């Protein structure tokens, strides 16, 4: 047993970090090689795909990381809360006569923003309810109990959406402009044909801008506001925070609220981008986002954002230059590698001190 | 014993009931000169969501019996119908129950069905032992009759005795090659991207397409995705684009997201590429999933489209005179009609050959033997000969393409279109051509 502990310590210590760094360097070299061999236009297109996917993963990962950071719970239901946001948005947009057939109009944008705010609040309230019902009673129970409850909650939320809209893929209104921007024309096309180096859509810009905005807002909130300070304090040392007069229950509820609000916004961004949602979307989206959170450093907000973007890019690179059959293998191999060689994640963990 | 007035009245009522019960028979003409009853069994999914598949198919059998006048050579001909749907969906256990029941019914000499290949896989071992002829109007899984290397089960595993299973439609292993030739020769696609969603059907049909496409002289790039964890196909599509492809073949079914990649092609500037597939794509869900790129979808089905055969038009019109409901006619009504007629001919031949329907086992064997020797049988959908495996010589694959229709054309109700009231409601699969591998 002792030998195993030592082995583990070695692997996840400096040796592990070095190995991980090596992996990263190899990855970058591979990307550079591909850029030279296949042309920069292809690589840029793949990176745009990876970053837009990654931005959405990042928004989901933030919720995972925040909740883990404060009560050390992997909230398996979080991916489904992400899906729920999209479902709520679909229903509310329908009330504004913006159903699945609706297209982009300038007039629709303010409605969209209003609906997003409403859905974020709604999602937050749902998550507060989930925390109150399923996790708070188990706050002092052995760690396995809330974990299993979270899995059960995940099935419950999925089941609710299934009963609400059925098993089919639902079409989401296409409310973002389809315009594309082609930049830097040159001989970048196949066989040297004239083609733009960068081919961006309004949707791509929307995803990145919206995600960056939300992450920055979150960062400012955590660092500048009193509630944010309370969240940091509770995450650092719950008992000391209580002794300082912080209302722990309120702080934890706020964490759940914010995490779900972000996931809800993520769900709407996803739905606007891909125009299709299904009740079981959150199952796999959640697993990938969780991997991203761990990759970046669980409990670490910047880590979750970085992890999300990295996972998105790695997946896109894999699908384009290797084989899409290996997509899941690659992502979850990364999860295992991180847990073995660099369990604190790329930017370091932030979990309650014992 | 003294008979009271009440007792006498009760006796008269009882006698009356017995007379009514005996006098009225099921379908077909009444008594009076009938030598007895012969039944054609039916096992189809007929309730809930599957009624739109099963009921029109059942109607084909009923129509055949009706056209035969409800009798053969003095024997009353009836339909013994069984539903294998449970909770609106076909159920193999129920199917097994049904065929066991049909075998135990000693007027049933042959049957039409089942509708679904999975049910056939469960039923054939039972009907084979009993020697009960089955003709399916719709099963397309090739492994039921052919021992392909890709098969998860083998036809010989299902049969202990001589073959009793036949079908009047072609099989999935011909759908891929049909579309490969169409893509290469008709659509002019020389380089193609092929995808599958890691299902037995999807991988199988994509492999079949790939092999034929290569034989035709084309180049391909192949990718698989897991429908449970994939929502973004753009990186795969980018790969196809960089490879120089000008079209895509998708091996899969709509419920495994086979048509969602189509919705992401516009953003990559390849929305004008043809998007091809098998019968897993010829659905309204697929048209909807394709979003604003529904045009350019083409897919195959295994079997002929009755509406395209000039001689069938008269039969269909006559059918609709007797079956007047809006949903009485379906994609498999005519295949079921042909299947029933093949059996009726075989039954007649058996009777004329001296077999006695009352000796049910010997008669079933006589019918089975006659069906297995079906040669150049003139059906609505063409001339049928069964080969040694039970497959039809009419190896017809139909190709459909999505076109934009008018509201009134959609209202006729015979095309597969996007969901009613949805944004793609006017986009429908229209018959384009058929390929006959048996010709």
Tokens of A247: 């209302």
CB atoms B235 and A50 under 8 Å: yes
- pLDDT reported for residue B24: 42
A-interface mutation test, from B197, B234, B246, most A Cβ less than 10 A away:
B234
The residues pairing with A171 across neighbouring beta strands, listed in sequence order, are A276
Q: Does some domain include residue A139?
A: yes
CB distance B77 to B135 below 8 Å: no
Mark whether A15 and A102 lie in a shared domain. no
- pLDDT reported for residue A107: 87
Mark whether A146 and A194 lie in a shared domain. yes
Q: Is A202 on the interface with B (CB under 8 A)?
A: no
pLDDT of B9 higher than 60: no
Distances (CA, A) of A350 to A48, A143, A147: 30, 18, 19
How far is Cα A300 from Cα A346, in angstroms, rounded to an integer? 10
Q: Among A101, A174, A284, select the one facing B228 at the smallest CB separation.
A: A284
Greater pLDDT, A13 or B248 = B248
CB atoms A325 and B224 under 8 Å: yes
CA distance A160 to chain B (A): 19
Per the listing, tokens 């998708």 go with B250
| Maximum Cα interatomic distance, chain B, rounded to a whole number of Å | 101
Pairing assessment for the beta strands B297-302 and B85-86 based on DSSP bridges: unpaired
Tokens of A86: 């999209």
Give the containing element (helix H, strand E) for A260.
helix A248-274
CB atoms B225 and A281 under 8 Å: no
CA distance B406 to chain A (A): 18
Mark whether A54 and A76 lie in a shared domain. yes
Of B375, B362, B334, B366, give the one whose Cα is nearest residue B347.
Answer: B366
Q: What is the DSSP string of B199-254?
A: SHHHHHHHHHHHHHHHHHT-EEEEEE--TTT----HHHHHHHHHHT---EEEES-G
Q: Is A190 on the interface with B (CB under 8 A)?
A: yes
CA distance B285 to chain A (A): 8
First-to-last CA distance in chain B? 79
What torsion do the CA atoms of A215, A218, A223, A224 make, to the nearest 10 degrees? Answer: 120
Mark whether A259 and A278 lie in a shared domain. yes
Q: Does some domain include residue A348?
A: no
- pLDDT reported for residue B285: 86
How far is Cα B315 from Cα B306, in angstroms, rounded to an integer? 10
- pLDDT reported for residue B17: 53
A-interface mutation test, from B206, B242, B259, most A Cβ less than 10 A away:
B242
Of B165, B164, B109, B116, give the one whose Cα is nearest residue B140.
Answer: B116
Question: Model confidence at B152, in pLDDT bands (50, 70, 90)?
Answer: confident
Q: Is A221 on the interface with B (CB under 8 A)?
A: no
Q: Is A283 on the interface with B (CB under 8 A)?
A: yes
For chain B, percent of residues with pLDDT exceeding 70: 92
CA distance A54 to chain B (A): 11
Mean pLDDT computed over every residue of chain B: 89
CB atoms A38 and B242 under 8 Å: yes
pLDDT of B13 higher than 70: no
Q: Is A40 on the interface with B (CB under 8 A)?
A: no
Mark whether A172 and A26 lie in a shared domain. no
Distances (CA, A) of A297 to A77, A83, A301, A350: 20, 24, 8, 7
Q: Among A49, A284, A318, select the one facing B229 at the smallest CB separation.
A: A284
Q: Does some domain include residue A257?
A: yes
- pLDDT reported for residue A354: 60
For residue A8, the enclosing domain spans 1-37
For position A171, which CATH number holds? 1.10.3470
| pTM for this prediction | 0.81
- pLDDT reported for residue B22: 47
Of B189, B196, B144, B184, give the one whose Cα is nearest residue B165.
Answer: B144
Mark whether A114 and A236 lie in a shared domain. yes
Q: Is B182 helix (H, G, I), strand (E, B) or coil?
A: helix
Q: Is A225 helix (H, G, I), strand (E, B) or coil?
A: coil
Q: Among A190, A317, A324, select the one facing B244 at the smallest CB separation.
A: A190
pLDDT of B6 higher than 70: no
- pLDDT reported for residue B29: 44
Say how far residue B79 (Cα) sits from the centre of its chain: 19
CB distance A59 to A214 below 8 Å: yes
- pLDDT reported for residue B12: 55
Mark whether A2 and A63 lie in a shared domain. no
Range B55-75 average pLDDT? 94
How far is Cα A190 from Cα A245, in angstroms, rounded to an integer? 65
Q: Among A101, A280, A319, select the one facing B422 at the smallest CB separation.
A: A101
How far is Cα A315 from Cα B337, in angstroms, rounded to an integer? 52
- pLDDT reported for residue B28: 43
Pairing assessment for the beta strands B275-277 and B248-251 based on DSSP bridges: parallel
Q: Does some domain include residue A352?
A: no
Mark whether A8 and A131 lie in a shared domain. no
Q: Does some domain include residue A4?
A: yes
A-interface mutation test, from B229, B243, B422, most A Cβ less than 10 A away:
B229
Q: Does some domain include residue A346?
A: no
Q: Does some domain include residue A350?
A: no
How far is Cα A58 from Cα A292, in angstroms, rounded to an integer? 7
Q: What is the pLDDT of residues B370-423, one digit of tens each?
A: 999 999 999 998 899 999 999 999 889 999 999 999 998 888 777 888 887 788
* φ and ψ at residue A199, rounded to 5 degrees: -125, 100
Chain A neighbors of B269, CB-CB under 8 A: 180, 199
Q: Please list the alpha-helical segments (H only) found in A72-136.
A: 78-95, 108-130
Mark whether A18 and A50 lie in a shared domain. no
| Chain B residues in contact with chain A using a Cβ-Cβ cutoff of 8 Å | 198, 223-226, 228-232, 234-236, 238-239, 242, 244, 255, 257, 260, 263-264, 266-269, 285, 288-289, 291-292, 422-423
Mark whether A171 and A27 lie in a shared domain. no
CB atoms B226 and A168 under 8 Å: no
Mark whether A231 and A319 lie in a shared domain. yes
Question: Model confidence at B172, in pLDDT bands (50, 70, 90)?
Answer: confident
Mark whether A3 and A95 lie in a shared domain. no
Q: Is A183 helix (H, G, I), strand (E, B) or coil?
A: strand
Q: Among B236, B242, B292, select the one facing A319 at the smallest CB separation.
A: B236
Sign of the torsion formed by the C-alpha atoms of B216, B221, B227 and B231: negative
Chain B neighbors of A100, CB-CB under 8 A: 422-423
Range B184-192 average pLDDT? 97
What string of pLDDT tens digits covers the 354 residues of chain A?
A: 788 787 777 777 788 888 888 888 999 999 999 988 888 999 999 999 999 999 999 999 999 999 999 988 999 999 999 999 999 999 999 999 888 878 888 888 999 999 999 999 999 999 999 999 999 999 889 989 999 999 999 999 999 999 999 888 888 998 988 888 988 888 877 777 888 889 899 999 999 999 999 999 999 999 999 999 999 999 888 899 999 999 999 999 999 999 999 999 999 999 999 888 999 899 889 999 999 999 999 988 999 999 999 999 999 999 999 999 999 999 999 989 988 888 888 888 877 766
Q: Does some domain include residue A320?
A: yes
Q: Domain tally for chain A?
A: 2
User: Residue B300 carries which DSSP code?
Assistant: E
């Amino acid at each position: 047993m002792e030998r195993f502990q030592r082995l583990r310590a070695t692997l996840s210590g400096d040796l592990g970090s070095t190995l991980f760094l090596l992996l990263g360097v190899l990855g970058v070299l591979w990307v550079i090689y591909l850029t030279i061999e296949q042309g920069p236009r292809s690589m840029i297109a793949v990176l745009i795909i990876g970053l837009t996917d990654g931005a959405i993963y990042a928004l989901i990962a933030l919720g995972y990381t925040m909740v883990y950071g404060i009560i050390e719970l992997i909230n398996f239901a979080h991916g489904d809360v992400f899906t729920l946001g999209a479902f709520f948005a679909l229903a509310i947009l329908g009330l504004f006569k913006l159903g699945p057939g609706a297209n982009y109009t300038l007039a629709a944008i303010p409605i969209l923003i209003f609906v997003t705010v409403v859905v974020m609040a709604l999602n937050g309230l749902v998550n507060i309810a989930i925390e109150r019902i399923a996790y708070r009673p188990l706050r002092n129970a052995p760690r396995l109990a809330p974990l299993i409850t979270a899995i059960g909650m995940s099935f419950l939320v999925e089941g609710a959406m299934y009963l609400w809209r059925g098993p089919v893929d639902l079409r989401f209104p296409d409310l973002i402009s389809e315009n594309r921007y082609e930049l830097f024309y040159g001989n970048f096309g196949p066989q040297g044909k004239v083609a733009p180096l960068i081919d961006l859509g309004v949707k791509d810009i929307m995803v990145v801008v919206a995600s960056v905005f939300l992450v920055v807002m979150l960062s400012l909130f955590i660092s500048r506001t009193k509630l944010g300070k309370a969240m940091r304090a509770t995450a650092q040392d719950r008992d000391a925070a209580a002794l300082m007069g912080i209302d722990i229950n309120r702080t934890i509820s706020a964490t759940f609220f914010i995490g779900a609000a972000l996931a809800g916004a993520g769900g709407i961004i996803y739905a606007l981008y891909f125009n299709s949602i299904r009740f079981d979307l959150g199952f796999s989206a959640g697993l990938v986002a969780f991997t991203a959170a761990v990759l970046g450093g669980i409990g670490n907000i910047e880590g979750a954002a970085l992890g999300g973007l990295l996972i998105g890019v790695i997946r896109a690179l894999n699908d384009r230059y290797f084989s899409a059959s290996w997509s899941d293998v690659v992502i979850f191999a990364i999860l295992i590698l991180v847990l073995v060689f660099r369990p604190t994640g790329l930017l370091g963990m932030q979990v309650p001190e014992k | 014993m003294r008979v009271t007035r009440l007792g006498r009245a009760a006796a008269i009522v009882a006698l009356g009931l017995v007379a009514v019960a005996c006098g009225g028979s099921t379908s077909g003409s009444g008594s009076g000169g009938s030598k007895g009853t012969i039944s054609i069994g039916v096992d189809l999914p007929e309730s809930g969501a599957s009624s739109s598949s099963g009921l029109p198919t059942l109607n084909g059998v009923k129509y055949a019996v009706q056209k035969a006048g409800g009798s053969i050579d003095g024997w009353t001909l009836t339909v013994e119908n069984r539903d294998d749907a449970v909770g609106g969906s076909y159920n193999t256990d129920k199917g097994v129950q049904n065929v066991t029941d049909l075998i135990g019914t000693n007027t049933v000499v042959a049957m039409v069905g089942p509708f679904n290949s999975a049910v056939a896989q469960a039923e054939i071992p039972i009907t084979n032992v009993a020697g009960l002829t089955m003709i399916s109007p719709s099963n397309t899984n090739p492994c039921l009759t052919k021992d392909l290397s890709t098969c998860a089960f083998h036809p010989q595993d299902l049969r202990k005795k001589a073959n009793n299973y036949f079908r009047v439609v072609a099989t999935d292993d011909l759908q891929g090659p049909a579309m490969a030739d169409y893509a290469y020769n008709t659509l002019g696609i020389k380089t193609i991207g092929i995808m599958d969603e890691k299902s037995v059907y999807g991988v199988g049909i994509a492999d079949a397409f790939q092999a034929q496409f290569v034989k035709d002289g084309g180049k391909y790039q192949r990718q698989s995705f897991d429908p449970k964890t994939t929502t973004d196909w753009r990186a795969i599509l980018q790969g196809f684009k960089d490879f120089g492809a000008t079209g895509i073949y998708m091996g899969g079914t709509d419920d495994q997201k086979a048509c969602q990649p189509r919705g992401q092609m516009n953003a990559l500037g390849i929305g004008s590429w043809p998007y091809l597939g098998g019968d897993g794509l010829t659905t309204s869900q697929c048209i909807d999933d394709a979003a604003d790129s529904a045009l350019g979808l083409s897919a195959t089905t295994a079997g002929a489209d009755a509406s395209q055969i000039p001689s069938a038009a008269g039969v269909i019109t006559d059918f609709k005179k007797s079956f007047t409901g809006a949903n009485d006619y379906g994609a498999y009504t005519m295949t079921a009609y042909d299947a029933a007629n093949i059996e009726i001919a075989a039954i007649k031949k058996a009777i004329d050959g001296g077999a006695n329907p009352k000796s049910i086992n010997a008669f079933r064997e006589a019918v089975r033997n006659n069906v297995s020797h079906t040669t150049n049988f003139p059906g609505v959908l063409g001339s049928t000969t069964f080969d040694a495996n039970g497959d039809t010589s009419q190896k017809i694959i139909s190709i459909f393409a999505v076109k934009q229709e008018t509201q009134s054309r959609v209202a006729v109700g015979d095309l597969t279109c996007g969901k009613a009231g949805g944004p793609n409601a006017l986009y429908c699969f229209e018959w384009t051509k058929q390929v006959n591998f048996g010709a």
